[in-house]
Structures are given as structure tokens and as C-alpha cells.
Structure 1
């Protein structure tokens, strides 16, 4: 045999080995998929199931991120069902807008863990915070953090909310009578300043450069987290963790650490030998958290992570609710005028101070905001994960760690629960007699159950105060059409294209 022939034979043998290895890999992979799908057969044979491609399931259909909410919704219509199963990667998830199942999931102690598919990217960015932590850590931290959201402390924040509203009026006044403007970033800046002062007890000076970097850092982090969530189902979450992601995360950690050190050095931290809680000396979350830290109930890392969690969760979701409210009022002039008349009847003068008692006298505002949060929930999708094997329905027994996803965006727009005009803005959906007839689990803007939004009362108060002050001072309009609105899941709800709004100072 010549050397050249021997060389060809060796090359052929190498190719055969590679071909054999590839064949073995394919067979092993398909066997793995077969076993995995057989494992969940008791679920996938009982409810409509979207299989998708091997290893990635339907993940490829959820990218780009702007398709996510609408693709998730489309399967309810395609299968004519309120609950279906979808393979994301190599695991199935239950997706539901069935109020009975939602009640089971949100009220059962078996579903106190958050769904990994949605919340792991948040946990990577803000590790072990109250949003994502597992049940044992969450129970401990939530009990401590609940102290911050007691009624007396919330009432003490109302002057801060009024100052923030008046600051927003000053900023918006500079844009009045001058065409349409992008307002979302301006509103986010205002709600961020309120959130930092409420959480950290730090007075945010007008025009501080760090304010803008804070907004940018939180915005970048939230955007990257959303892309991480979408890409992780394909095993490509690392692509979303760009240098900008790490820079934003590092800036937030350093910023919070600096605030904590300044707060401690200024002797704002209560000095106590043993843990105690005194409402008269505790004026911010940082006061309370550092007191816990001083007495061994929190570590410094807990203080940093929970501070970032509270500020990040509150400022953007509150800003989204306020901005969405203004967008709806701009597009529905009759609703805006009716709301203005309600507000004007209580505050005939523009220079106003809203108290908690006032909030009981604006029922139409409540209807407007509830309808806004129906169509544009600040958090458009939530999920829970079974801790142990548990019964979901009479037919479905779920194994441990199975995830149940509730797309609130889809739930709030489902014609089954909201009628044939579910997609339209109509505050009368929240007339008292209409609410009384409706299943309470078809409306959940702050989620439901023990792991609901811890700051929902904070959000309701600050959103209403800012809207009262803004609507009292300005008339809002837009040329953007309601039917052109398109929404994107970026952990919180974002607009694919943000409508520009025109601002006119009211003369009375």
C-alpha cells in the first residue's frame, strides 16, 4: 500500500469516527428528549401543549422580545383554552389565565417560590433580593421589610409624594405649549428621586448628575434582565450580560454602598443595644434595615440588595403606571375632562397638597387608574414554581419545580372575562356594581397572594397623588393613535414606541 493510499485510509477512518460520535450524540440527545417528554406525559396529554423544537421548545418563537407578550397570548386563542403547556428549553411550563388555577397557585404554600424561567435573570442581577429569593430567605426578609410598609410610615411619606409631584409640575411647565415631547424619562427621574428618598432617607438635590446615571443604570439593567430572560430559554442568556450590564450593576452596588456609609457616618442609624423598632425614630427603609443589620438580623449585603430591589421595583413600575395613565388620558379627552372636573371640585386652586383622606374622594380617579393597570399592568407577567409535588386541578398533579406562568397582560385583555371590547379603554369596567360581579382573580395588577407586590399600597398612593397634581395643572394630548400602541415585556411593561405627549397649562 502506497503512503498516499494509507494516508487516505487514515483520513477516512477519522471521518468515520467523527460520524459515529455525531450519530451517538444525536441518538443520545433524542433519547434524552424522549425520556424528558415521557416524564411529563401526565401533564402534556391532559392540556393543550406546544412542543416546538428539540432542546429549545418554543423559545425561538419568543424572540425578538417585542413578540413575547403577543406570542404567549396567541396560544390561548389558537387552542381556545385558558390553560396550556409550552416547552421552554427542555422543561414544560404551565401558562394560564384561568382564575381558579390562579387562585390555587397564588394562595397555596406549595407555590411560594418564583418561577426560575422568569426570575433567574433578575436573581443574577440582584442576588437573593425579596423579588427572587427562595421561600426560606423570602419569609425571613419579607417579615422584616413589611415593617417599612406599615400604615404610619406610609402616611409619613405623603409630604414627600407631594413635593415630588410639585417638582414634576415645574419640570413639565418648561415643556408646556411647545409641541409634543417624550415624557417617560422625565417621569422616571421624578419617581426615582421619590423612591431613593423614601427608601434611603437621602434628599435628592435638583439636577444632580448621579440622578441621570442612576436612571440610566436601572434602565440598562432592566432591559438586559429582560433580554437575559428571553435568551436563557435558548441557553444564550450570557449574550444579554454585556459590559454595559456589568457596569450598571457595579454602579448601583457602589452607589448604595456609598449611601449606606454616608448614612451611618452621619449618625442617622439608630444606636441600640438590642433590636427594637421605634416608629418615631425610623423614617426610611435604610433606618430600619441598618437597625436589623446592627442586631444581626440582616447582613450588609442584604441591606444593599434589598435597597436596590425596592428602588428598582418601585420607581420604574410607578413611572410606567403614571405615564400610561397620562397616555390614556391624552387619547381619551372625555375621560380626562371628567377626571379634571372631579379633581377641580376638590381643589379649585392649582397650588394643592393632597392628603390620604383626599384619596377617598376621587372615585373616578380610582376607576381610571384601575382600567389603566388592566390594559397596561406595570408587571405584565408573573410566575410561581412548585416546591413539592402538588395538585393543580382535579386532573393535574404537578411534580416538584414545575413552573406556572400567569401572563397578566393576557389575563386582563381576555374577552372571556372582560367581554368583546376587552381591548378598549373603559373606566366603567370598574364601577362598584361591575366589580362585584367579576371574579377577583381576573384582575391582579400587583399579583395576588403572599408573594404579591410588597409595595402595592406605596404604589397606589404615590401614583394617585402625582396624577391628581399633574391633571390639575395640565391638559395632555397626543397625535399617537390608540390602535398603534404595542407593548414589550422588559420585566416591567415598556412601550415599543413611546407616544409623545403635548402639555398645556390649565388656565383655571
Structure 2
């Protein structure tokens, strides 16, 4: 028994020495500073308290510089908030794949554009790009306008009635838009949409996926059951899948009826390129499997509504906290639309909203839709500074701290000021200093969609209401998540404009 115990102890010490030596070798060889962390754990304790992850990243970036190297247990790990290093990574064919932290997304939402590995990702991206082409996006403007009009009706009972949390209302609004523009179906009359249970299911899945990302042991179904998370998560996933499947089957049935009609209906190219039309056409041609269509549909709806709702709300929140900029935006919008209530916003109108552009950019600088994105090296990657990142390193691109770097954005980098994006202020910035939708090879497929939708929505909301809040900017506490979250969501008051 003693001999067995000694052997186990010796093996443990050898393993510990191997890990420690490997860490020191990496640090010395790479010449990238960073904390060694604790024995065995490395810096994995960062992930124990999700609310503190961004603060921890900020602390070590301040201490060691804009690019640091460390360990999560036995896994080599980098944090990057340097624009040039970010560009090297995001434009490299050896760093296309998402980090292992996103394995939870496959379980919760499906294996689609968000988490597919190359070369499958490249194939799917090329096939689905037409769904977000310029002409297709222009065809969505009537939907954006119509749904924002309905949103204004829902806001009327809330006007001049104290501070409210508008995020659930905005999420329901953007989910309704997402199903129409990507899946071709208006689902607002569906029972699970009207009762908000569908939205609750999406939030449950998103929250559980986030827990699984930062607490990898929760990827085990058995552990989730012990933690009391599995039942609600499974139910939420199932209801969402049934919802998505129903929309796909509806589309396929409509196609069959159209083909059997005496006089076939000819679709325009814009209609053919709507996301679900593309995906089901690929299914019929044998390029996509049913699972491909279902997974990609689930991912695209998820992405289209969650980040757009947050972007609109956070922009309104910041304008409520900095009313002088809200008044400038209002003056610009009023010059385009002299009357309140409803009006049609055209694409040409969105191009004339120059100051609203500054505000949106600044909002996504201060509160990026996604604070951190993860990549991993599939081969050795040589940076422009000559340092070689070995294969298998996990990399976190920290947009949150890069967007707030005083070295890049000046002394007021951590506050909200749309002047940061005036031409003379932005022209000398590194092209990767501001990447709210990432950049490079694997940028967000729907970034133009998000911006047009947000501008139409903000134009109508800001023309009809002045937004106020008693919550001070300095008390905002940002929480690391798949999408940006706030520990406490500021409430907004709507005051009617004339």
C-alpha cells in the first residue's frame, strides 16, 4: 500500500513538474509576458466568477501589457487587446477556428456558422453569404419599418410613466423581425410568442450555454442534472427546436404547393436569397443535410435578435445618461422627419443620419455587442512582430478593453463621447482598434443587417421619445457573457416628444 502511495505521489510530482516546466518554457520562448498562475490550475480561477472575468482581464492587461500569455489548467492561453496582434490573428488562415470554450454553443444552438471548424465553415459561409447581400437587406426595410411602428404602439402605455426595463420588449421586437427576415414567417400570432415563453426559452438556453462556456464541467449532462440545470435547459432547447423545425417544414410545404400550382409563382432574386430559401434549396440539392438547415436556422435567428436588441437598448441607455448627445441626434432626425408618430425610413435616409452613425459606433465601442471572442491556432502562427504562436493555443480577443484603451482612444476612452468617431479623430486609428463585429476572415455575417435595423429603430424611437434614466454611467458593471450583459440593467423613462 505504501509503495503504491509513493508511486502515485511520484507520478503526481512528475506531472506537476512537467506542466510547470512547460509553462515556463512557453513564457521564455514566446517572450510574451503574463502570470504563471497557480500550480495545476494556472489562471482557471478567472472563470469561477463570471461577473469578475472582465475585471480580471483588465487587471492583468494593465499589469503585463496589451498581449499576455497564461494557462487555463494545462491549456496555453492568450489574451489580446493590441490591434495589430488582433489583425494578425483574425486575418490568418491558421486561426479561423473558434476556441474550445464555444463547444457549449454546439450543444445549445447547433453546429452552424458560429462554431463550425474550417474547411466546413468556409463552405457554409460562402453558400450563405447571399442571404445578407445588399439588395436582400434593402428588401427588409418594409419589415423593419412595419415592426418598429408596432413597437411604438406598444410603448405608448409606458410613456411618461416612470422608469421601465425595455429589454424584454426589444427582444420580442427583434425576434419578430428575425423570424420574418431570415425564416420568411411572421410568428407574432403564435401562442408561445405571444405568451413570451419562446423568448424565455431562448434566454434559458443562452444563460446555460454561457455557464457551460465558463464552467466546462457543466458540459456534462450528469453534472447539469446534479446542479438542477438540465431539466429547464432540455425543455428550452426542445421547444426552440420544435419552433425552428415548424418554420422549415412550413417553407418546404409552401414550395411543394407552388410547384404543383397550374401557374408557377416566380420568385425574385431577393426572395430566393432569403436565408431559409437558400438553406432549403441547398437541402433539395443534397448540399445540406436536414441537420445543417436546422442548426444554421437556429444559429441565425439567435444571432439576429439577441445582439440587435442589446445594441438598441444600450444605445438608448447611453443617450439617456448623456442627454446632450441625445439632443444632437434628435435634431438630426427631426430635420429628416419633421412630424412625430409613424414615418417610413428609407435606406437613403439612413445614409443621411451621420450623427446617429457616430452615436452607434461610440455605443458599440463603449459597450461592444460581444465583449470577447475566442480563436485557436490550427498551425504555428507568426505575428507581424516576429513572435510565433504555437499550434493549439487558445486566444481571447478582448474587444472590451481594446475599445477602452487610453493609449488608443485618449484619456476619455472609458466614457461615452461620439466625437471619438469624427473623421479627424478616427483617421489615424489602427483599422483593428474598433471591431464590434470582429473583422478579418471570420467577421460577423450579419453586421450590415444589424446596423440598418438598429438605425431604423433608433430613428423612430428618438424622434418620438426623449429617454431618461436616474442610473449613473459610473455605476455600470459589465459582465462577461457570450453577448455583453450588465450586472444591473438601468431602467429608462420615456418622455413624449413634439
Q: Which residue of 1 aligns with 2:143?
A: 160
The alignment's TM-score, normalised by the length of structure 2, stands at 0.93
Residues 106, 451 of structure 1: 8 Å contact kept: yes
Q: What are the within-5 Å matches in structure 2 for residues 469-480 of structure 1? A: 469-480=460-471
Aligned residue for 1:308? 298
Question: Which residue in the other structure is 1:9 paired with?
Answer: none
Q: How does 1:46-85 map to 2 (within 5 A)?
A: 46-79=31-64, 81-85=65-69
Aligned to 1:26: 12
CA displacement at 1:482 relative to structure 2 = 0.6
Q: Does 1:263 align with 2:251?
A: yes
Q: Return the match for 2:279 from 277, 283, 289.
A: 289
Matched residue of 2:40: which SS?
A: coil
Q: Contact (CA 8 Å) 2:79, 2:395: kept in 1 or not?
A: yes
Report the counterpart of residue 339 of structure 1 in structure 2.
Answer: 329
Deviation, structure 1 residue 206? 5.0
User: After superposition, what is the alpha-carbon deviation per residue over 1:273-307, rounded to whole angstroms, capped at 9, x for unaligned?
Assistant: xxx99615426311111011111111111111111
CA pair 146-159 structure 1, distance change in 2 beyond 3 A: same
- Partners of 1:382 and 1:349 lie apart in 2 by 42
Whether the 8 Å CA contact 1:270–1:287 is kept in 2: the answer is no
Aligned pairs (5 A) from 1:90-101? 90-101=74-85
8 A Cα contact 2:466 2:494, kept in partner: yes
Specify the alignment match of 1:4 in structure 2. Answer: none
List structure 1 segments (4+ residues) > 6 angstroms apart after TM superposition. Answer: none
Aligned pairs for 1:32-51 within 5 A:
32-34=18-20, 36-37=22-23, 40-43=26-29, 46-51=31-36
For 1:301 and 1:153, how far apart are their aligned partners in 2?
25
2:72 to 53, 67, 88: 88
Aligned counterparts of 1:270 and 1:418: Cα–Cα separation in 2: 56
Native 8 Å contact 1:269 1:291 kept in 2 = no
Q: How does 1:173-192 map to 2 (within 5 A)?
A: 173-192=156-175
Report the Cα distance in structure 2 between the residues aligned to 1:40 and 1:463, rounded to whole angstroms.
44
Aligned to 1:193: 176
Aligned pair in 2 of structure 1 residues 464, 250: CA closer, same or farther (>3 Å)? Answer: same
Deviations 1:317-342 (A, max 9, x none): 00110000110111111111111111
Q: Tell me: CA distance 1:236–1:88, structure 2 relative to 1, closer, same or farther (3 Å).
A: farther
In structure 1, how many angstroms separate the alpha carbons of the residues matched to 2:147 and 2:374?
33
> Partners of 1:162 and 1:359 in 2: how far apart?
12
In 1, the alpha carbon distance for the partners of 2:471 and 2:98 equals 37
Partners of 2:423 and 2:189 lie apart in 1 by 41
Q: What SS does structure 1 have at the residue aligned with 2:480?
A: strand
Shift of 1:207: 7.4
* 1:111 pairs with 2:95: yes
Q: CA deviation at 1:408?
A: 0.5
SS of corresponding position for 1:52: coil
CA deviation after TM superposition for structure 1 residue 245, in Å: 2.0
Return the alpha-carbon distance in structure 1 between the equivalents of residues 213 and 115 of structure 2: 13
CA distance in 1 between counterparts of 2:391 and 2:258 reads: 43
Give the RMSD, CA atoms, in angstroms: 2.1
Structure 2: gaps spanning 5 or more residues: 261-265
Q: CA distance change for structure 1 residues 84 and 208 in 2, over 3 Å: closer, same or farther?
A: same
The residue correspondences of 1:360-371 to structure 2 (distance < 5 A) are 360-371=351-362
CA distance in 2, matches of 1:127, 1:20: 46
Q: Greater shift after overlay, 334-343 or 382-391?
A: 382-391
C-alpha separation between the residues in 2 aligned to 1:449 and 1:344? 37
Q: Is the 8 A contact 2:187 2:193 kept in 1?
A: no
For 1:67-112, what per-residue CA distance to the aligned partner results, in whole angstroms no more than 9, with x for missing partners?
1111111111122x11111211211212111111111111121111
1: CA distance, partners of 2:455 / 2:128? 23
> What's the CA shift for 1:381?
0.6
Q: Structure 1: state its 5+ residue gaps.
A: 1-13
Q: 1:432 aligns with which of 417, 423, 431?
A: 423
- 1:167-215 Cα shifts (integer Å, max 9, x gaps): 1111111111111111111111100110111111111235743351221
TM-score, structure 1 as length reference: 0.91
Structure 1 residues 43, 323: CA separation in 2 closer, same or farther (over 3 Å shift)? farther
Whole-angstrom distance in 2 between the partners of 1:114 and 1:270: 40
Counterpart of 1:3? Answer: none
Deviations 1:401-423 (A, max 9, x none): 22221110011001110111111
Cα shift at 1:42:
4.9
Q: Distance in 1 between matches of 2:435 and 2:480?
A: 17
Q: Which residue of 2 aligns with 1:482?
A: 473
Conservation of the 8 A alpha-carbon contact between 1:59 and 1:230: no
Corresponding residue for residue 402 of structure 2: 411
Equivalent in the alignment of 2:103: 120
